[in-house]
Amino acid sequence: MGTIQSGVMQSNGDPLVRVRNLRVSFRLDRHTSFDAVKGISFDIPRNKTVALVGESGSGKSVTSLAMLGLLPPENSIIDRTSEILYGGRNLVTLPIGELRKLRGADISMIFQEPMTSLNPVFTVGWQLEEVLRLHMGMRGRAARKRAIALLGEVGIPEPERRIDAYPSQLSGGQQQRVMIAMAIACEPKLLIADEPTTALDVTIQKQILDLIAALQKRLQMSVLFITHDLAVVGEIADYVVVMRNGEIREQGPARAIFESPQDSYTKALLLCRPRLDRRPMRLPVIDDFIRGTGPQHTEERPRGIGAGDPIVLDVKNLGKSFYSREGIFGTREFKAVKDVSFRLPKGKTLGLVGESGSGKTTVGLTLMRLHEATSGEAIFEGRDLLSMPPKEFMRYKRRIQIIFQNPYASLNPRFTVGQILVEPMHIHGIGTSAQDRTDKAFELLAKVGLPEVSFYKYPHEFSGGQRQRIAIARCLTMQPDILICDESVSALDVSVQAQVLNLLQDLQDEFRMSYIFISHDLAVVKYISDQVMVMSEGEIVEIANSDDIYRHPKMPYTQRLLASIPKGWHG
Amino acid sequence: MATDTAAIAGAPRPAQRDIPHTVSPGLWTLAWRRLRADKVGMVSLAIVLAFIVMMILSGLGLIASDWQREVGVNYAPPTFLGPEAPATPAPEAVVPRTAAPAGSNYQSKIVDPIGDVIASLKAGKVPGGPLPPETAEEKSVDPLADVMSEIRADKQVEAKAEHRVRLATLPFGGDKWGRDVLKKTIKGSETSIFVGIASAVVATFIGTLLGALAGYYGAKVDDFLNWFYSVFSSMPPLLLILAVAAVLQHKGIVTIILILGLTGWTGVFRLIRAEYLKHKAREYVQAADAIGASNARRMFVHIFPNVSHVVLVQLSILVVGFIKAEVILSFLGFGVPVDVVSWGSMLNEAQNELILGKWWQLVAAGTAMALLVTAFSIFTDSLRDALDPRLKGRTGA
């Protein structure tokens, strides 16, 4: 496979943690087991940040859980010869009681989802003090004082007041800060951060990354940073370990990995992600590197819209409010979308960017009438889609289609792929007979790059990227004029993301569909869009051709957003 | 409306194409595989199926159709050896089904004052074996020696028949009218299991339909159905059942199915409503909306298969509950009419018999019910684990 093991990383002196030949497997049922980690070795040096990078299924999270003894005992097996050495002790064979003493005190962990990691019925102060009580024996006033100091340290404003807040009263970023405060409460030697910023907006992600880097220096600890995104760790990692399918593909100092990657997979990871400064005709995909051909079609793709482009959809003053009951009779109005107007040219892509809660998804759902708009109109072929009666709208429904974010949730698990593809044609009376529709379904499967056998399979037999292809094929059965992609590639691994983006681009070139591409990922939006619309709190902040907006952002909000994008490696 | 019914006619059947493919296991197939691996579950399933087969055979009249035949001994104990053998040419042996006079003397030997002695003698001896020759002393001491010798003579003649007589005993004993309790239990299962399954189907159907409407449409529909549900669930179930029974007057199996079905849907309603609330917001349902699927289609073609495992488990739980409920109702005398036997009415009879020390009817009906209910409950648990393996200890990497 050409795996490059440039030896175990060299570090000065005695490393904090030494992982040797770690093997973890999971029992699937009585006869089969699955090797999640296949004998990996690496070191975590003192006072350094090590990034463990890999896509889903690479075994990176399993590795971190094994270090804390948090793997489910009923179906996981750690090989007897595996060693995780910490302070002269092997964590693999350490009794659970000893291990529990280490957890929280010497080694602590931050998880991906702060919302589910904090207990909603206790105040953050109570939860912080609990850690201090258990591990440091602090009580009462001393514990509270320390808790306030910790909250201040992780950058929570007014810690004296916020200490009595419940988790639900804090924003996602603040909740993650509280999690970090809990993790550093006992001044651990090692902090394990498992995708700590993946669930956060890009501006918050930037703040959390800065905080972790600052704390690492101040508290003299080591950090094991687990992520699927190489770009995130470029700014904070000292060493990088790249994993794939339970094996280490490459490891070494960050500079070496970013500047001269040896392994084809590492190269692919670095280049598959769209970059802000370049826009090739096709994105490089992992196969290009595995096959050794290198990226194809790298010439620059021109983007942007001109004044003469024919307009497909003209949205005027779109507004959408949600009402929640308050008291017995009162209602509270929440304006998710306020007065949004834009025009969508034929065969072009409009990128819709914004942080969570900016109303970008609501715009998409409202245009499809999955939510009824409160005000405004959307003119399509001279008719207002939003005000026509539902019966009449049925004729237009197939013309505007949507691809959802989560390919695992958007396909009915009880339908075969064949049924999924035939159903829309059946509903809209496309095709003359069942045979005709089936033929068309096979044609589309080929178009999105899936084998014919897929027709008879169920969605659960496919990977995330393949499922997204099925969802795309389902939309294509109706030959839509407008395709709304609602975070359609956000849940996919970097390498798969590039393939799906290429597919979307090919389909647009072939069918001249217009896309509304909704995403929080600015680099992806920059790559795929002709025009970009930045939204914040339900309003349009800025709308311009994508090159203009990235090169010369006019509004401060846009500037701040662009500054937060992880830059990768700067050398 | 014609288009509407066509729209929910089910997932479209794609035409077949001649490419080599293996049929992928659907979720039901996978669940069945998991269930098959569960030994305890399969044993319970076998027991439940045995009961159901028994019920069907009895319903078709293939077994226990002569449950009303009487042996002529009140409360014949399980040790009782029935006198008549199929081979014995006794024309009175078959009593008309309707006639059931207590202690009918269709075999005079039994009403004979020494019938018991004879019976025990017969029981004590090795059947068909050579009898000891009578002696003079025996004759002189025993005043009944003559009778005995007569009997012995009879016995030798009937040595072959005697063997068959043993086969015709009542292993579970007899009831007040001398009817075979085993056959009664089998006949009773017909009522109890049928009522249990049928009323569970009715209750699940109502609960699922209303739950789907409430959960899917929400808003006003949900408010109204919730109000309706609250009215039903605010009354103690037993009182509600007694009240409905009083209103319906007419006693019969259909009545009792309706009573249980109309009062038992509330639990299903609540669960299915919650499932529909959850699934309505799922992306695959939004996707179905986006491709233009009608409400009915989304509700029953898209969401229903995804909640059907909940429905199935609820159905299974309700069957267990309603078998017990029928027994309780019949026990209280609100259940099946007197001319129909069910486990509940058997237990009701056993109430009085116990004072007399006649325990076998209680044991027979009680054991049958306990066995079925326990097996069904264990099967339900296995079914739930098989359908939703995540419940059984989450695993994750």
Helices (H) and strands (E) in chain B — how many of each? 18, 0
User: So what's the pLDDT on residue B212?
Assistant: 92
CA B274 to chain centre: 31
**Rounded Cα–Cα distance for residues A230 and A164 (Å):** 37
Asked whether the beta carbons of A295 and A284 are under 8 A apart, the reply is: yes
For domain A1-48+56-106+230-272, which architecture applies? 3-Layer(aba) Sandwich (3.40)
* Highest averaged pLDDT of the listed ranges A53-62, A166-175, A299-308, B308-317: B308-317
Hey, which residues 34-63 in chain A have their CB within 8 Å of chain B? 36, 59, 61-62
pLDDT at A292 over 80: no
CA A112 to chain centre: 11
**Rounded Cα–Cα distance for residues A446 and A473 (Å):** 9
First to last CA, chain A: 29
Q: Under an 8 A CB cutoff, do B24 and A405 touch?
A: no
Residues 6+ apart with CB under 8 A from A183: A108, A109, A110, A191
pLDDT (tens, 9 = 90+) of chain B, 397 residues, equals: 334 444 455 666 666 666 666 666 777 787 888 888 888 889 999 998 998 888 888 888 777 677 777 666 666 666 665 555 444 444 444 444 444 444 444 444 444 555 565 566 666 554 444 455 555 555 566 777 777 777 776 666 555 444 444 445 666 667 767 677 788 888 888 888 888 899 999 999 999 999 999 999 988 889 999 999 998 888 887 787 777 777 777 777 888 888 888 888 898 999 999 999 988 888 888 888 888 888 888 888 889 888 888 898 899 889 988 888 888 888 877 777 777 788 888 888 877 777 777 777 888 888 888 898 899 889 988 888 888 766 554 333 3
Tokens 């942080």 belong to residue:
A355
Hey, which residues 98-157 in chain B have their CB within 8 Å of chain A? none
Counted across chains A and B, CB pairs separated by less than 8 A come out at: 120
**Rounded Cα–Cα distance for residues B243 and B249 (Å):** 10
Taking CA atoms, B192 is separated from A417, B52, B135, B198, B221, in Å, by 44, 11, 57, 10, 36
The residue extents of the domains of chain A are 1-48+56-106+230-272, 311-563
Nearest residue in chain A measured CA to CA from B15: A435
A342 forms beta bridges with A315
Tokens 């979308």 belong to residue:
A337
pLDDT at A186 over 60: yes
Distance from CA of A404 to the nearest CA of B (A): 7
pTM for this model (two decimals): 0.74
Q: How confident is the model at residue A383 (pLDDT cuts 50, 70, 90)?
A: confident
Q: What's phi and psi for A378, nearest 5 deg?
A: -130, 105
Taking CA atoms, A372 is separated from A318, A322, A483, in Å, by 11, 10, 19
What is the percent of chain A where pLDDT is above 90?
6
CATH 1.10.3720.10, domain B28-59+182-391, yes or no: yes
Q: Does A72 touch chain B (CB under 8 A)?
A: yes
User: So what's the pLDDT on residue B140?
Assistant: 63
**Rounded Cα–Cα distance for residues A111 and B282 (Å):** 25
- Secondary structure of A341-360 in HEC code, one letter for each residue: EEEEECCCEEEEECCCCCCH
For residues B155-179, one letter each, b for 16 or more C-beta atoms within 10 angstroms of the residue's C-beta and e for the rest, the string is beebeebbeebeebbbebbbbbbbb
User: So what's the pLDDT on residue A3?
Assistant: 42
For residues B254-274, one letter each, b for 16 or more C-beta atoms within 10 angstroms of the residue's C-beta and e for the rest, the string is ebbbbbbbbbbbbbbbbbbbe
Asked whether the beta carbons of A311 and A378 are under 8 A apart, the reply is: no
What is the identity of the amino acid at B119? Answer: A
A324 forms beta bridges with A332
Distance from CA of B25 to the nearest CA of A (A): 8
Q: How confident is the prediction for chain A on average, in pLDDT?
A: 84
Taking CA atoms, A377 is separated from A85, A342, A346, A384, A396, in Å, by 64, 11, 18, 6, 15
User: So what's the pLDDT on residue A241?
Assistant: 92
Distance from CA of B205 to the nearest CA of A (A): 21
Secondary element (H or E) of residue B362: helix B360-387
Residues 6+ apart with CB under 8 A from B331: B344, B345, B347, B348, B351
Q: CA nearest B67: which of B177, B193, B163?
A: B177
Residue A255: HSE in the Cβ half-sphere, 13 Å Cα cutoff: 1
Q: What's phi and psi for B302, nearest 5 deg?
A: -90, -55
Q: Does B250 touch chain A (CB under 8 A)?
A: no
pLDDT at A381 over 80: yes
pLDDT at A221 over 70: yes
Tell me the two tokens of residue B46.
């076998």
User: So what's the pLDDT on residue A202?
Assistant: 79
Nearest residue in chain A measured CA to CA from B33: A29
Taking CA atoms, A260 is separated from A255, A270, A436, B2, B359, in Å, by 8, 11, 53, 67, 89
Are domains A1-48+56-106+230-272 and A311-563 of this chain identical in fold? Answer: yes
Tell me the two tokens of residue A318.
């779109």
Q: Does B289 touch chain A (CB under 8 A)?
A: yes
Residue that wins the pLDDT comparison between A297 and A6: A297
> pLDDT digits over A228-254, tens only?
888 788 888 899 999 988 889 999 998
First to last CA, chain B: 49
pLDDT at A226 over 60: yes
Rg of chain A taking only CA atoms, in angstroms = 26
User: So what's the pLDDT on residue B162?
Assistant: 45
**Rounded Cα–Cα distance for residues A191 and A183 (Å):** 7
Q: CA nearest A202: which of A55, A338, A353?
A: A353
Residues 6+ apart with CB under 8 A from A174: A156, A162
Secondary element (H or E) of residue A312: strand A311-326
What is the identity of the amino acid at B124? Answer: G
Residues 6+ apart with CB under 8 A from A218: none
User: So what's the pLDDT on residue B20?
Assistant: 60
Hey, which residues 295-324 in chain B have their CB within 8 Å of chain A? 297, 302, 305-306
> pLDDT digits over A299-334, tens only?
777 787 877 788 888 998 898 888 877 767 777 788
Asked whether the beta carbons of B327 and B192 are under 8 A apart, the reply is: yes
> pLDDT digits over A440-470, tens only?
888 888 888 888 888 888 888 887 788 888 8
Residues 6+ apart with CB under 8 A from B388: B309
A323 CB burial (10 A radius; 0-12, 13-18, 19+): exposed
Q: Does A471 touch chain B (CB under 8 A)?
A: yes
CA A564 to chain centre: 16
For B17, the closest of A413, A442, A471 (CB atoms) is: A442
User: So what's the pLDDT on residue A180?
Assistant: 86
CA torsion angle B255 B256 B257 B261 (round to 10): 110
> pLDDT digits over A66-123, tens only?
888 888 877 888 888 888 888 888 888 888 888 888 887 788 888 877 677 788 888 8
Q: Under an 8 A CB cutoff, do B292 and A428 touch?
A: yes
Instruction: Name the DSSP class of A309.
Output: S
Asked whether the beta carbons of A265 and A244 are under 8 A apart, the reply is: yes
DSSP reduced 3-state for A97: helix
Residues 6+ apart with CB under 8 A from A466: A450, A454
Instruction: Name the DSSP class of A531.
Output: E
Tokens 């080591």 belong to residue:
A222
DSSP reduced 3-state for A3: coil
User: So what's the pLDDT on residue B132?
Assistant: 53
Q: Please report residues of B whose CB lies closer than 8 A to that of A419.
A: 11-14
**Rounded Cα–Cα distance for residues A315 and A301 (Å):** 27
Nearest residue in chain A measured CA to CA from B11: A419
For A404, the closest of B286, B297, B302 (CB atoms) is: B286
The residue extents of the domains of chain B are 28-59+182-391, 91-169
Q: Which fold has domain A311-563?
A: Rossmann fold (3.40.50)
Q: Please report residues of A whose CB lies closer than 8 A to that of B287.
A: 402, 404, 410-412, 471, 474
